[in-house]
Chain A
Amino acid sequence: MMRHEDEVVRRQRERARILALLLGAFVVLLFFITIAKTGMNW
């Protein structure tokens, strides 16, 4: 049987990892959006 606290920590770690990946992807996306926007006359 897994303890309640262990399950809380496991889920928090899993969510933190996914959030970090998403934030990293967002930064990369913003970089390329900036490059694309500065290269055009919008």
Chain B
Amino acid sequence: MPAIEMTNPAALPADWRDILALTKPRVMSLVVFTALCGLLVAPALPPLVLGFTAILCIALAAGACGALNQWYEVELDAKMRRTAKRPLPAGRMDRQSALHFGVGLAGFSVVLMGLATNWLAAVLLAASILFYVMIYTVWLKPRTPQNIVIGGGAGAFPPLIGWVAATGQVSALAILLFAIIFLWTPPHFWALSLFVRSDYAAAGIPMLPVVKGIEPTRRQVFLYSLPMAAAAIAPWPLGLAGPIYGVCAIILNFVFLVLAARVLANRSTDPAQMEPEKHLFAFSVFYLFALFTVLVADRWIA
């Protein structure tokens, strides 16, 4: 990029790449994937264009959440290595633009969802945005080490909304999909926070390893993995999924629990020696993708 004569980068209109970065595209990919799975495992499929619009709305809402999160946390982001180069803390964009973009995108996604699919899906979408921004970002995250537990609820909405967009109602499997992501979030994020805890401590975010210490966090990672595994396997014995899903879910959860047990057994406090935590974090992302993929495959193959 050519050098330009300027003293205040924020005086420039934001580059479209920075506006895109505001939506946290990588987080959005997981949201889109789980929402799509929720829609695809539903008993009734909507017309293709309505299904596409539902997923688009969920993606836009996730982007709005990312923008509003970055708007609110600009000072925190500036303090953490991992987030200091984001458009707002780096000064490539002004805060008000981020706020307008986030609110506009949120409103647009909810209205479009209601018009294209049904208003229950739109209400759930609005609730998930408000939950993420108001309850998680503004209220819980800076106040309690249990922030991730409750905040996991926001990330658990997409498959439920995908299902409701397709069927117009909430059913047992949709609630189980919600529960799986809700219970998966604590071990996933706490595994990460164990090896980047100095970042969280520097930013003053009361993550569990910062407030309670490393050993209690490792214990919590393992303890949360148990109900998560139960929720993930449950669709099979409950007759909501077939044996393809059941067998794969057992294997995936067995590996998850073994990795969580290795985290529990690790005694190192040096992030460089937290291989079990890094392995669990990496596997947890694969786990969610694999589990939901298998659920869809089971629905369409069986």
Contact = CB atoms under 8 A, between A and B. Distances in A.
A6 to B, nearest CB: 8
A12 B5 contact: no
Interface string A5-23: 0111001101100100000
Nearest to B56: A29
Contacts, number: 49
A33 B49 contact: yes
A11 B12 contact: yes
Contact of A8 (B12, B49, B53, B115): B12
A2 B53 contact: no
B47 A40 contact: yes
B116 A33 contact: yes
Interface residues of B, number: 18
B3 A2 contact: yes
A39 B53 CA distance: 16
A25 B50 CA distance: 15
Contacts of A3: 4-5
B3 A42 contact: no
Interface string B9-28: 00011111000000000000
Nearest to A33: B116
Given A33-B50, A36-B47, A42-B118, A1 B5 contact: yes
A3 B6 CA distance: 8
A7 B4 contact: yes
A2 to B, nearest CB: 5
Closest 7 CB pairs of A and B: A36-B47, A32-B49, A2-B4, A7-B4, A2-B2, A11-B13, A4-B6
Interface of A: 1-4, 6-8, 11-12, 14-15, 18, 29, 32-33, 35-37, 39-40, 42
11 contacts: A1-B4, A2-B4, A3-B4, A4-B5, A4-B6, A4-B12, A6-B4, A8-B13, A11-B14, A29-B56, A36-B47
